[in-house]
Copies of this chain bind each other. A is one copy, B any other.
Amino acid sequence: MNPKKITIQDIADCANVSKSTVSRVLNNTTPVNDKKREAVLKAVKDLDFEPNSLASGLAGGNSMIIGVQTQKIGSPFYDLVTRGVIHCLTDTRYSPILVDGVWDKEIELKGIDTLLRRQIDGLIIIGGDIEKEQLLHLAAKKPLLLVGREVEGLQDRCLYVDNFDIGYQATKFLIELGHRQIVHITGIKSHQDSVRRLNGYLHALEEAKIPYDADLVYEGAFDGPSGVKAIDTVISRGKKFTAVFAANDMSAFGARLALYRHGIDVPDEVSLIGIDDQTEAPYMTPPMTSVRQPAFQMGVAAGNAMLDLLMNKEFELPKPSVQISVRESTAKVEK
């Protein structure tokens, strides 16, 4: 299976120079006589030489690998960020290694360990539950960037959207359309994000002097089935409502289906807004209004920031702004 590996030594022999010179030519680290340089280059071509990254990583001290930890592979938002990172790293000399933390502190730490063993040059953690102290400790030994988290003491390393604001804006948007009975389907309550979005919702209600009704809030799980269940439950509670704000698009899709089942028209009877602005949102019937998070761009930004960080360049993480993609699932409330 392995015919025989060509090493830098073979090139050296073939080009009648020393290993050192070959290395120098390959990395452009020191000027080399043109004739020798070309001899080396020719030998590289002729022998079809591929440098061994493990060896150069070991010798040079940098693996050219960036560790990326995501959560529950398959979640629209986190996947999209991850894709952004990977996309950004393509065409650089760095490669990403992915680990999934599945929102479980212990597994996350194990994953980080794996990455550290692999001598990653930098680490991008997307979401997750790892404690502040551990992150600080980690940041002390590896270039670290956090996406979708806000950690005290690491502000300049955090790239996140203001989830409170997302919840607030979405709710306010509905209120301004005249809605006052607004169902909120929350995310998984152990996630910071869910709580912040809920708080944003509460704040918007308060600001509009709309009394809070616990029966209108349902604890979902960021997925379709919980969206369905949410609507079924609220209806079975005998509650009237004219709008639904779901903590992400998947649960909004679930809600959409449940409303359809109950023969409730969207948006004539009930308005519906989600979060994420997934690719599919514009293709719902009617096209669904959603709060857009620039997830992919955030991934790219994190990737670029990491590259800068690794080159000791100044960098600044953008503060992504939240926009509502207004479509046809939301409408003014009928009087």
Name A residues whose Cβ lies closer than 8 Å to a Cβ of B.
Answer: 1-3, 50-55, 57-58, 63, 65, 73-74, 79, 83, 86-87, 90, 95-100, 113-114, 116-119, 140-143, 224, 227, 250, 253-254, 256-257, 260, 278-280, 282-287
Q: A96-B97, A280-B280, A285-B285 are in contact. Are A118 and B254 (CB under 8 A)?
A: no
Docked complex Cα distance between A10 and B51 (Å)? 30
9 A/B residue pairs, CB under 8 Å, sorted by A: A50-B117, A52-B119, A65-B97, A73-B86, A86-B98, A86-B100, A90-B99, A90-B100, A253-B283
Q: Given known contacts A58-B55, A256-B283, A285-B260, is B83 in contact with A74 (CB within 8 Å)?
A: yes
Nearest opposing residue in chain B for A68, CB measure:
B98
Q: Is the CB of A2 within 8 A of B141?
A: yes
* A54: contacting residue among B51, B119, B260, B287, CB under 8 A: B119
Interfacial chain B residues near A74, Cβ < 8 Å: 83
Residues of B within 8 A of A278 (CB): 280
Write out the residue numbers on chain B whose beta carbons fall within 8 Å of the beta carbon of A86: 73, 98, 100
Q: Are B260 and A53 in contact (CB under 8 A)?
A: no
A224 and B58 within 8 A (CB):
no
Q: List B contacts of A287 (CB < 8 A).
A: 257
- Could you say which residues of chain B place their CB within 8 Å of the CB of A279? 224, 250
User: Taking the nearest CB of chain B, how far is it from the CB of A225, in angstroms?
Assistant: 9
**Complex partner residue of A97 from B55, B97, B224, CB under 8 angstroms:** B97
CA distance A254 to B284 in the complex (A): 9
A147 to chain B, nearest CB (A): 17
A127 CB → nearest B CB, Å:
16
Oligomer: number of copies: 2
A98 to B68, CA, bound (A): 11
A50→B282 CA distance, assembly (Å): 48
- Please tell me if the beta carbons of B141 and A1 are within 8 angstroms of each other in the complex: yes
Instruction: Give the residue among A51, A95, A286 with the most B Cβ atoms within 10 A.
Output: A95
**Could you tell me if A50 and B1 are in contact, using CB atoms closer than 8 angstroms?**
no
Picked from B52, B63, B284, the residue with its CB within 8 Å of the CB of A284 is: B284
Taken together as a complex, chains A and B put the C-alpha atoms of A73 and B50 apart, in Å, by 26
Q: Are A117 and B52 in contact (CB under 8 A)?
A: yes
| Contact partners of A79 in chain B: CB under 8 A | 79
The residue from B50, B83, B97, B117 contacting A113, defined by CB atoms under 8 A apart = B50
- Tell me the minimal C-beta distance from A122 to chain B in angstroms: 11
On whether the beta carbons of B100 and A87 are closer than 8 Å, the reply is yes
Give CA–CA (A33, B113) in the complex, Å. 28
- 17 further interface pairs, Cβ-Cβ under 8 Å (given A254-B283, A257-B287): A2-B141, A50-B113, A50-B116, A52-B117, A53-B118, A54-B54, A65-B97, A73-B87, A86-B98, A87-B100, A98-B98, A250-B280, A250-B283, A257-B285, A260-B286, A278-B280, A284-B284
Q: How far is the CA of A224 from the CA of B278 in the complex (A)?
A: 12
Contact in complex: B99, A95 (CB < 8 Å): yes
